[in-house]
Structure 1
Amino acid sequence: MAITLRQLAVFRTVAETGHATRASETIGITQSAVSMAIAELERLAGAPLFERKGRKLLLNDRGRHILPDVIDVLEKVSRIERYLDESLEEPVGVLKVGASTTIGNYLLPLLVGAFERRFPRARALLEVANTKQIETAVESGEYDVGLVEGPPHSQSLKVSVWREDELVVIVGREHPLAKHPRTASAAELEDLKWIMRESGSGTREVFEKAMHEAGLRYDIGMVLGHTEAIKKAVEAGLGVGCLSRLAVQREILQGWLIEVATPLNLQRNLYILTQETGYTSRLLSAYLALLEGA
């Protein structure tokens, strides 16, 4: 069976007017075209959908049964057409955004709010995961755009540098390194018990790369899957952490965590990931423009 939208539109109009001539005037096609559309639809249905009463066409029981679904289908198609027309002119619809932990928790919430205030008919749904998970989800099309902290590894995505960030080494107030001058030598770094994120985290990858480049060994004594958990564990004196300054600046300012200077290179970039396609929707373009201006 191959029912067309035109046949459904003719069926609905005939059902509402009760007459092929009036339906043709309403739709703007010939009466013979109306009759042909109804005849073909009834052929596909395998039985009549209307009772013929002179020149009138009245729905029978089968016709009355399908009319609500026909109306529903046509209205949904109409909404799709309106959306496609309008989304060319202004951001309309739902954008799925994936962000790694630091970005998703400490940068994007305010930007998502700003985006939805600027474009009332648009929504940005934010989901937070680690860098590897975000990269995979953008590749598969699960997310329209991803923002990550670790160096991207995909060869099939468009990668753009968004902004700079840095990691800082932090200890609790009672830790020996919290005493002035609050610095740690390379040898001291090797003796620490580190509290780190899981494998696949951009923060962990940057830390491990910095230690490797410095030729240093490291001992990960605890793995926690959330930045807030690491901060609490470090504050409680369970070990030493290495997190984005964005994530710990409040705790450092309040004196709950102490920043320790090290010889490590802990600078990094934050990246925007999108599909490598030739078309960018108005919705995605507006979101990327907001990110670039942030």
Structure 2
Amino acid sequence: MAITLRQFQIFIAVAETKQVTRASKKLFLTQSAVSMALAELENQLGGPLFDRHGRSLLLNDRGRYLLPMAKNITHQVHNIEALLSEKKEVIAGSLEIIASSTIGNYVLPYPIALFMRMHPEAHINMMVANTKQAERLVAQGIMDLGFVEGGITDEAIQMTPWFEDELRIIVSSSHALAEQKLFDLPGDLVKTAWVLREDGSGTAEIFKNKLGEHAALLNVVTRIGHTEAIKKAVEAGLGAACLSELTICREEEHGWLKGLSIKDINMRRQLSIIQHKDKTTTRLMSEFLRFCTIMAECGLGRECLSSPKKLDALLKEAYSRKQVD
């Protein structure tokens, strides 16, 4: 039989009052219930915890060793009850989320940090993977929420549109295409080698879908599984790539990369939040989803997502206003 919290509470009460009678009154239990629980605890721990002196029970060396640990355990349980009680205003808990590369590396870090500063008892752990991996882990119930940029096929997954992003062709500042304002299909497609994300990437999937029949003209020289590595390869002159505008802000500002929109093709894509249809929405999850919704409603552009100070100011103002409403 496992040790119970109630046994610890009874042990502490007996240690403090030094009598079963007083402990039973303190806990509103019968004397027999207190005596039985204490006897079971001592039996489970392999020996007595008290020395009997007449009607008094005094802690022995084993009892003195156990008492601070028992108090700490009961204190922590009380803290958990207080923090997670729906009657309290505290947002607490630990949320496991998974985000595809663009979102995980360039969109969510600042908002997550702000949310955790606003709710100190909330902890958000984030894993970065591609869209297919995110779909699989959310479907398995391993992750609470997923933030993806590609399509979802699993029927157990509920997908909610979040906000829009735009894909752009990127080349190095010394590339011949860098002199152009727009990327023209199909002519410009064959003027360069291509660096693409790995299979399963939402960005690569959407890029090929947007190209349609022209995708057959892609001369893919390498596939790289991380956005930063792709940017470095393009900057070094290996070829062109297609990435989210959210990922190239700094490089464009410094003139290291040039971003091009494709002529006559809408390269905007929907970023979405996914969760298992049968998963319980906890208070923390609900509040974080509301926070993410506010981000979308603010219409935050890439200049905000690349500036933590500006993002903090906008989100704090909007979030506070929503809480008042």
User: Structure 1 residues 262, 194: closer, same or farther in 2, change over 3 A?
Assistant: farther
User: Structure 1 residues 116, 4: closer, same or farther in 2, change over 3 A?
Assistant: closer
Q: CA deviation at 1:42?
A: 4.3
Q: CA deviation at 1:195?
A: 0.7
Q: Does the 8 Å CA contact 1:86/1:92 hold for their aligned counterparts?
A: no
SS in 1 for 2:274: strand
Partner of 1:35: 35
Q: CA deviation at 1:243?
A: 0.6
Q: Which amino acid aligns with 1:290?
A: F
Q: Which amino acid aligns with 1:174?
A: S
Task: Compare relative contact order (CA 8 Å, sep 6+) and give the higher one, 1 or 2.
Answer: 1
What CA RMSD, in Å, does the superposition of the two structures yield over aligned residues? 2.6
Q: CA deviation at 1:130?
A: 2.0
Alignment of 1:80-95 (within 5 A): 80-85=80-85, 89-95=89-95
**1:99 is aligned to 2:125:** no
Q: Which amino acid aligns with 1:75?
A: H
Worse-matched range after superposition: 44-53 or 185-194: 44-53
Work out the CA distance in 1 between the residues paired with 2:19 and 2:180: 92
Work out the CA distance in 2 between the residues paired with 1:284 and 1:59: 45
Alignment of 1:1-16 (within 5 A): 1-16=1-16
Unaligned runs of 5+ in 2: 296-325
Q: CA deviation at 1:219?
A: 1.8
Unaligned runs of 5+ in 1: none
Partner of 1:186: 186
Work out the CA distance in 2 between the residues paired with 1:116 and 1:41: 40
Partner of 2:204: 204
For these two proteins, the number of residue pairs brought into alignment is 294
Alignment of 1:59-70 (within 5 A): 59-70=59-70
Q: CA deviation at 1:69?
A: 4.1
Q: CA deviation at 1:124?
A: 2.4
Work out the CA distance in 1 between the residues paired with 2:124 and 2:182: 42
SS in 2 for 1:150: coil
Work out the CA distance in 2 between the residues paired with 1:121 and 1:87: 16
User: Structure 1 residues 264, 217: closer, same or farther in 2, change over 3 A?
Assistant: farther
User: Structure 1 residues 226, 46: closer, same or farther in 2, change over 3 A?
Assistant: closer
Q: Does the 8 Å CA contact 1:18/1:58 hold for their aligned counterparts?
A: yes
Q: Does the 8 Å CA contact 1:90/1:283 hold for their aligned counterparts?
A: no
Work out the CA distance in 1 between the residues paired with 2:294 and 2:147: 15
Identity of aligned residues (%): 46
User: Structure 1 residues 263, 87: closer, same or farther in 2, change over 3 A?
Assistant: farther
Partner of 2:283: 282
Partner of 1:266: 267
Q: Does the 8 Å CA contact 1:190/1:216 hold for their aligned counterparts?
A: no
Q: Which amino acid aligns with 2:281?
A: T
Q: CA deviation at 1:75?
A: 2.9
Alignment of 1:1-294 (within 5 A): 1-42=1-42, 48-85=48-85, 89-180=89-180, 182-214=182-214, 216-260=216-260, 261-277=262-278, 279-294=280-295
Work out the CA distance in 2 between the residues paired with 1:282 and 1:244: 32
Deviations 1:266-285 (A, max 9, x none): 32110101222363111111
User: Structure 1 residues 201, 36: closer, same or farther in 2, change over 3 A?
Assistant: same
User: Structure 1 residues 189, 282: closer, same or farther in 2, change over 3 A?
Assistant: same
Q: Which has the larger radius of gyration?
A: 1
Work out the CA distance in 1 between the residues paired with 2:30 and 2:18: 16
Work out the CA distance in 2 between the residues paired with 1:180 and 1:60: 85
User: Structure 1 residues 154, 27: closer, same or farther in 2, change over 3 A?
Assistant: same
Q: CA deviation at 1:202?
A: 1.1
